[in-house]
Amino acid sequence: MRYHAAILFLAWLGLTTHAATLIYKTPAGEEKTVSGITLESISNGQVRISLDGGIETFPLSRLIKYFDDDLKSAAGAFEDNTSDYHVSLREVQIPERGRVRSKGKQETAEAEITYSISRRRQQGQSREIRVPYFYLFVLTSTENGVRKMYAYSAPSAARASSKEYDELKMRDNALSLKRPKQDVPLGSSGPGRNSFGDWEHKIKLAGIGDNRIIAWHLVVWGKDDIVATRDYRDPSYRIEEQWYLTTRN
């Protein structure tokens, strides 16, 4: 059965649990077909759907046709209209070891990352961005010279591979519709921001213990690509420039 935008609300009354298909117009004016969606709600002129575990919204005015069946032959995926952006790393603080003394006791150390976001909003894009994904790879050495690599990520949805540097996995995570969104308002106030308006992340360096950190490599993913990196290698150790590509635990 087919529904046009003018009567889509009637379709929504009986459609909340099974897969359907819609045809909509992109900001560039192209028609696109997406199957496997579930219609969640219609409010204030916005259509809200779920797709592949993520939530998408778009203006009701861009809807062309709606089918309450999952058309397997339908091609394409929902266009991500979030804004592109750049990340500037203000400061990256990594301790010398995986444990630090605090208030007279040993605690797991943390990596502290301070950064800013510059949104590059284009016509037809929303104010929202896909949250930056941070991947931190740490190389350690024991007193006997045994080396091991650890991988961490932030936020938790980024899901780093704990065994190796896997750019394909990072890309899949970055392009997933499950990736959270956030608004980036002007000004310096808001959750996760410091008094200077910069954003902050703290990553617990679990598992390293008292071993020495001799190198680290930080990768930041923007909307669909790597937008920032930073590296450190202890000059007192012999370490390859791209050690994270060849190290295997």
Same domain, 146 and 204: yes
- Residue 149 lies inside a defined structural domain of this protein: yes
Same domain, 28 and 147: no
- Residue 143 lies inside a defined structural domain of this protein: yes
Same domain, 134 and 229: yes
- Is the predicted pLDDT of residue 83 greater than 70, yes or no? yes
Q: What pLDDT was estimated at residue 18? A: 60
**Is 222:85 a contact under the CB 8 Å cutoff?**
yes
CA distance 185 to 128: 9
Same domain, 112 and 194: yes
Same domain, 138 and 238: yes
- Mean pLDDT of all residues in 131-136: 95
- Residue 50 lies inside a defined structural domain of this protein: yes
Higher pLDDT, 25 or 230: 230
CA distance 147 to 141: 4
Same domain, 59 and 98: no
- Is the predicted pLDDT of residue 128 greater than 80, yes or no? yes
- Is the predicted pLDDT of residue 81 greater than 90, yes or no? no
Same domain, 58 and 164: no
Q: What pLDDT was estimated at residue 172? A: 81
Sign of CA dihedral 190, 192, 91, 240: negative
Ramachandran angles phi, psi of 14, nearest 5°: -115, 10
Same domain, 44 and 167: no
Same domain, 133 and 180: yes
Compute the mean pLDDT over every residue in the chain, rounded to the nearest whole number. Answer: 80
CA distance 226 to 220: 6
Higher pLDDT, 189 or 125: 125
Q: Which domain holds residue 36?
A: 2-67
Q: Which of 134, 146, 150, 53 is nearest to 98 (CA)?
A: 150
The number of domains in the chain is 2
Same domain, 59 and 110: no
Which tens digits make up the pLDDT trace of 36-55? 788 888 878 888 888 777 78
- Residue 11 lies inside a defined structural domain of this protein: yes
Q: What pLDDT was estimated at residue 10? A: 40
- Residue 79 lies inside a defined structural domain of this protein: no
Q: What pLDDT was estimated at residue 209? A: 94
- Residue 152 lies inside a defined structural domain of this protein: yes
- Write down which residue in 67, 93, 116 finishes a domain: 67
Q: Which of 19, 31, 247 is nearest to 149 (CA)?
A: 247
H helix or E strand, kind and range, residue 24 = strand 20-25
Which tens digits make up the pLDDT trace of 186-201? 544 445 555 446 889 9
Which tens digits make up the pLDDT trace of 7-19? 444 444 444 456 7
3: confidence class by pLDDT, cuts 50, 70, 90? very low
Say which CATH number the domain at 12 has: 2.30.30
Which tens digits make up the pLDDT trace of 135-186? 999 999 999 989 999 999 999 889 876 678 888 788 888 888 788 888 876 5
Higher pLDDT, 148 or 3: 148
- Residue 76 lies inside a defined structural domain of this protein: no
Within 13 Å, how many C-alpha atoms sit on residue 231's CB side? Answer: 8
Same domain, 217 and 104: yes
Q: What pLDDT was estimated at residue 149? A: 94
- Residue 51 lies inside a defined structural domain of this protein: yes
Same domain, 103 and 158: yes
- Mean pLDDT of all residues in 76-93: 82
The residue type of 77 is A
